[in-house]
Amino acid sequence: MSDVRVCVRDTTGVLRKITKIVPYKQDRGFAAMVPYHTAKQGLLLKHSLRYDHPIGRVPLQTAIPFTATDRVKLSIHLDGFVQFSGEDTKRILSGRDPETGEPKGIGLVFDHSIDDIRSGPLFGITIWGTDHFAHQKKPNGSCLEFCSDDVYSDRPLLCCGEQVAYVLEFFIFPNSILRYERRSGPRGDFVRLLLPRSDTLLIYRHDLRIIDLPGQDHFLGCLVSRISVTERSPSGYQMSGPSFAPAGSDDFVTIRAFYPGPDFGPDGPETQSIDRTEAS
């Protein structure tokens, strides 16, 4: 089976289902989804991103906010189209306008393929409150298990308090690397590579668990770390996609999803729904 569930054994010893990676059969790419959490209403953002600024909250003044009343998946097409679409495609506005080529919903159109991103993760998922994620009774062939021995906990700029959350980072590499570097571990195959850290300017050697993309010429490497979060909800997750900047510009744009969507109250930003309507 080509679909892969990424599971994390939390601090209580319970194995939790976190995300599912579904390779595309007719296209170079895949979808990442979080169907194992109880939240269904979310906030989606398209916002600017400066890599020369300290890591912190997304400034809402740079964001275009959308709401969704169902879960979304992050669809990554390696030819350069990235979007949030519905787990049930009939419920969330998605796809591209046939005349302009622009996303109908919330997405990015790159002017190049995105199978050669090496400056950092291709996408990431942050989770907290693992007791709200579904229980994986026991590991099986489609479950990529991470236990405490597989999880990194030395992320200084991502840990400003108690490490109660996890960040799952996914990198993309060509299959040619695996010809010499693929190794077998107690919970699945891995590859040991030098990676730029998202919280420092230093490069470290890390073990990344391998997620094969059958029929494609790339694979995903997954890295899980313990971090701190300041979210108000007792449990939730966020997904962040790759970022794009025109040639010669430092002003990147990315897309991000928060579940459950935060409650900003009456003074919150004006949002528009990404729910599909009959007219869509």
pLDDT by residue, tens only, the chain of 280 residues: 589 999 999 989 999 999 999 999 988 999 999 999 999 999 999 988 766 654 545 556 667 788 899 999 999 999 999 999 998 767 888 989 888 889 998 999 998 889 888 778 899 999 999 999 999 988 887 899 999 999 988 655 555 556 789 999 999 999 999 999 999 999 999 999 988 655 555 677 889 999 999 999 999 999 999 887 877 789 999 999 998 877 777 778 899 999 998 776 666 677 888 887 755 5
Residue 217 DSSP SS3? coil
pLDDT value, residue 53: 56
Strands (E), 34-117: 42-49, 63-68, 72-77, 81-86, 107-109
Does 186 reside within a domain?
Answer: yes
Which structural domain range is residue 188 located in?
Answer: 4-261
Cα end-to-end span (Å), the chain: 34
- Percent of the chain scored above 70 by pLDDT? 86
- Give 66-112 pLDDT, tens digit per residue: 889 999 999 999 999 999 999 876 788 898 988 888 999 899 999 88
Pairing of strands 123-128, 236-240: antiparallel
| Other Cβ atoms within 10 Å of 151 Cβ, number | 15
How far is the C-alpha of 123 from the C-alpha of 192, rounded, in Å?
19
How far is the C-alpha of 202 from the C-alpha of 211, rounded, in Å?
25
Does 267 reside within a domain?
Answer: no
Does 75 reside within a domain?
Answer: yes
pTM for the whole thing?
0.91
Q: Return the half-sphere exposure (C-beta side, CA atoms, 13 A cut-off) of residue 222.
A: 30
Does 65 reside within a domain?
Answer: yes
Do 199 and 156 contact (CB within 8 A), yes or no? yes
pLDDT value, residue 29: 96
163 backbone dihedrals φ, ψ, rounded to 5°: -85, 85
In the chain, how many domains are there?
1
Pairing of strands 81-86, 107-109: antiparallel
Does 182 reside within a domain?
Answer: yes
Residue 131 DSSP SS3? helix
pLDDT value, residue 122: 94
Does 278 reside within a domain?
Answer: no
Strands (E), 80-156: 81-86, 107-109, 123-128, 143-146
pLDDT value, residue 154: 67
Question: For residue 2, what are the contacts with CB-CB under 8 A and spacing of at least 6?
Answer: 22, 23, 212, 213, 214
Does 222 reside within a domain?
Answer: yes
Does 271 reside within a domain?
Answer: no
- Give 144-178 pLDDT, tens digit per residue: 999 999 998 865 555 555 678 999 999 999 999 99
